[in-house]
């Protein structure tokens, strides 16, 4: 073991470093209850009280544990979570059912999320149009609406519904090849194919599917080669009446920097948008999640969360995860007082002031990276660019000093912030995409 420390000593050291980073209250609630049960073959197994812990950590601090352990051990550690024995049998059964399905799909080369089905999707006025279209596409792929273009804000269910279409096609039309891919992954595959001269294989793979589901297509804006390749993929599938489903965080018209011919392809079938849910739909979604997780919460708590969380359904789930974890640790039932107390930093009665956290989250979401990455030292082009934009927006929208901004981005100095602001200011003048991007994110933050 590195530096002659035992596994337990390494874990204790990791914990104290984590505590420094995340602060006491977060540490006590989420990290302290974890136990290291095994450390071998570059893998660490952590025992957690229940699944909420895994969900929460993967959402908010996906890399913190492995990074800190790597710092101590000098090599990359693969983190595995093991749920402590006492978890409810019904939940375990559900978990293993999903796992079985996931493995079965993967063995056929289909990477759909088995959790995202029409069964688990709650329908309300805000999404019934998309839902109806999606059901028809699932029943009759290639012939109902082609392409189906779904757009809507972050956390409103696009990834869920697009996976649900895929799962429905797999179930109702056995043998069809369904391929789900994020536009980001598609882009990476194009780049890799070019670099390794494997374009033939790439084409073979993408042009032979029966249904292609592409998530977050806005990602290919500004990426000429990827757009070109997607255009040909699209045409080839379309001609053979294979189904194409596309999701985006904005309508085809609002995606700056894509070619007109692609924009017009997107509009050839049906365009459907998902609106933010009404309170009743939010309550129904909470009820559904609570049932699935075998949690017990009262109506006033459900209503409380539904009215406080404005639109993002992922945030609704975040509240439930937090409550579930808190209840399981304290052994107390979830009531309105606990909800008010535990969720106070997630939701507040007053208008929220714009904070660095909010900005980092918005920028992270826009670029499809975790907010946490903006605070790292990573210098890849994507992260550096996103970080500069986030610093720039922070300077614009908050009262923070340059040094304070630097500190909020993982301890950068004020010169770095000045440089970032200047870079973006310059680029805004020259580059329409940057200008639009900054405007779009700022607008989002202010709303």
Binding site for ligand ADP (CB under 6 A): 116, 120-122, 127, 152, 154-160, 285, 288, 313-314, 317
Between strands 270-274 and 78-83, the pairing is unpaired
- Scored b (16 or more CB within 10 A) or e, 250-261 reads bebeebbbbeee
CA angle 303, 309, 311 (to 5 degrees): 115
Preceding amide of 147 cis, omega within 30:
yes
Q: How far is the CB of 17 from ligand ADP (least distance, A)?
A: 30
Q: How far is the CB of 415 from ligand ADP (least distance, A)?
A: 36
H or E stretch including 47?
Answer: strand 43-48
Instruction: Decide which of Mg ion, ligand ADP, none touches 121; Cβ closer than 5 to 8 Å per partner kind.
Output: ligand ADP
CB nearer ligand ADP, residue 209 or residue 313: 313
Q: How far is the CB of 166 from ligand ADP (least distance, A)?
A: 13
Dihedral sign from CA coordinates of 111, 113, 116, 118: positive
Neighbour tally for 159: CB within 10 Å: 19
CA–CA distance, 156 with 313 (Å, rounded to integer): 6
120: tokens are: 């688990």
Q: How far is the CB of 156 from ligand ADP (least distance, A)?
A: 4
Q: How far is the CB of 161 from Mg ion (least distance, A)?
A: 10
Q: How far is the CB of 101 from ligand ADP (least distance, A)?
A: 16
Q: How far is the CB of 47 from ligand ADP (least distance, A)?
A: 25
Q: Which residues 174-203 are close enough to bind Mg ion by CB under 5 A?
A: none
Q: Could you tell me where the beta strands, DSSP code E, fall in 126-250? A: 148-152, 178-182, 211-215, 243-248
CB nearer ligand ADP, residue 402 or residue 445: 445
Instruction: Decide which of Mg ion, ligand ADP, none touches 285; Cβ closer than 5 to 8 Å per partner kind.
Output: ligand ADP
CB nearer Mg ion, residue 312 or residue 398: 312
Question: Residue 253, SS3?
Answer: helix
Site string for Mg ion, 93-132 (x = CB under 5 A): ----------------------------------------
CB nearer ligand ADP, residue 170 or residue 321: 321
Q: How far is the CB of 105 from ligand ADP (least distance, A)?
A: 17
Q: Does 159 bind Mg ion (CB under 5 A)?
A: yes
Inter-residue contact 272 to 300 (CB < 8 Å) = no
CA–CA distance, 317 with 239 (Å, rounded to integer): 40
Q: How far is the CB of 248 from Mg ion (least distance, A)?
A: 10
Instruction: Decide which of Mg ion, ligand ADP, none touches 19; Cβ closer than 5 to 8 Å per partner kind.
Output: none
Instruction: Decide which of Mg ion, ligand ADP, none touches 127; Cβ closer than 5 to 8 Å per partner kind.
Output: ligand ADP
Instruction: Decide which of Mg ion, ligand ADP, none touches 14; Cβ closer than 5 to 8 Å per partner kind.
Output: none
Instruction: Decide which of ligand ADP, Mg ion, none touches 156; Cβ closer than 5 to 8 Å per partner kind.
Output: ligand ADP
Q: How far is the CB of 216 from Mg ion (least distance, A)?
A: 6
CB nearer ligand ADP, residue 193 or residue 285: 285
DSSP assigned state of 23: -
CB nearer Mg ion, residue 189 or residue 365: 365
Q: Which residues 15-74 are close enough to bind Mg ion by CB under 5 A?
A: none
H or E stretch including 300?
Answer: helix 299-308
Q: Which residue is nearest to ligand ADP (CB)?
A: 157
- Scored b (16 or more CB within 10 A) or e, 338-363 reads bbeebbeeebeeeeeebebebbbbbb
Inter-residue contact 36 to 7 (CB < 8 Å) = yes
CA angle 435, 440, 441 (to 5 degrees): 105
Site stretch for Mg ion (CB under 5 A), options 150-158, 385-393, 418-426, 428-436: 150-158
Inter-residue contact 334 to 55 (CB < 8 Å) = no
Question: Residue 130, SS3?
Answer: helix
CB nearer Mg ion, residue 11 or residue 151: 151
Instruction: Decide which of ligand ADP, Mg ion, none touches 155; Cβ closer than 5 to 8 Å per partner kind.
Output: ligand ADP
CB nearer Mg ion, residue 159 or residue 328: 159
DSSP secondary structure, 428-447, as one string: HHH-HHHHHHHHHHHHHHH-
């Amino acid at each position: 073991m590195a530096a002659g420390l035992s596994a337990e000593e390494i874990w204790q050291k990791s914990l104290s470093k984590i505590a420094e980073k995340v602060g006491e209250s977060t540490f006590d609630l989420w990290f302290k209850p974890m136990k290291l049960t095994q450390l071998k073959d570059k893998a660490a197994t952590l025992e957690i009280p229940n699944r909420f812990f895994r969900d929460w950590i993967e959402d908010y601090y996906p890399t913190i544990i492995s990074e800190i352990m790597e710092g101590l051990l000098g090599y990359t550690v693969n983190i595995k979570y093991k749920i402590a024995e006492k978890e409810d049998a019904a939940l375990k059964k559900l978990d293993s059912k999903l796992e079985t399905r996931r493995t079965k799909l993967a063995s056929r080369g289909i990477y759909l999320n088995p959790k995202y089905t029409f069964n688990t999707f709650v329908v309300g006025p805000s999404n019934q149009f998309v839902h109806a279209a999606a059901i028809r596409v699932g029943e009759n792929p290639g012939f109902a609406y082609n392409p189906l273009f779904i757009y809507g804000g972050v956390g409103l269910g696009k990834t869920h519904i697009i996976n649900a279409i895929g799962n429905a096609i797999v179930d109702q039309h056995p043998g069809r090849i369904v391929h789900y891919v994020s536009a980001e992954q598609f882009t990476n595959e194009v780049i890799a194919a070019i670099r390794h001269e494997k374009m033939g294989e790439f084409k073979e793979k993408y042009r032979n599917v029966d249904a292609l589901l592409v998530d977050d297509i806005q990602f290919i804006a500004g990426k000429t080669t990827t757009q070109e390749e997607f255009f040909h993929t699209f045409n080839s599938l379309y001609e053979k009446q294979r189904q194409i489903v596309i999701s985006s965080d904005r309508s085809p018209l609002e995606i700056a920097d894509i070619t007109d011919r692609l924009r017009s392809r997107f509009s050839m079938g049906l365009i459907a948008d998902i609106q933010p849910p009404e309170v009743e739909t939010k309550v129904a979604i909470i009820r559904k999640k609570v049932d699935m997780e075998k949690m017990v919460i009262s109506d006033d708590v459900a209503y409380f969360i539904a009215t406080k969380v404005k639109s993002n359904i992922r945030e609704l789930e975040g509240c439930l995860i937090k409550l579930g974890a808190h209840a399981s640790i304290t052994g107390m039932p979830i009531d309105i007082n606990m909800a008010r107390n535990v969720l106070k930093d997630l939701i507040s009665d007053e208008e929220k002031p714009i904070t660095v956290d909010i900005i980092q989250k918005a920028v992270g979401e826009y670029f499809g990276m975790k907010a946490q990455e903006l605070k790292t030292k990573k210098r890849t082009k994507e992260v550096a660019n996103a970080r500069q934009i986030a610093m720039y927006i922070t300077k614009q929208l908050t009262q923070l000093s340059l040094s304070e901004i630097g500190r909020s981005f993982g301890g950068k100095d004020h010169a770095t912030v000045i440089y970032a602001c200047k870079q973006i200011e310059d680029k805004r003048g020259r580059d329409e995409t940057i200008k639009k991007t900054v405007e779009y994110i700022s607008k989002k933050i202010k709303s």
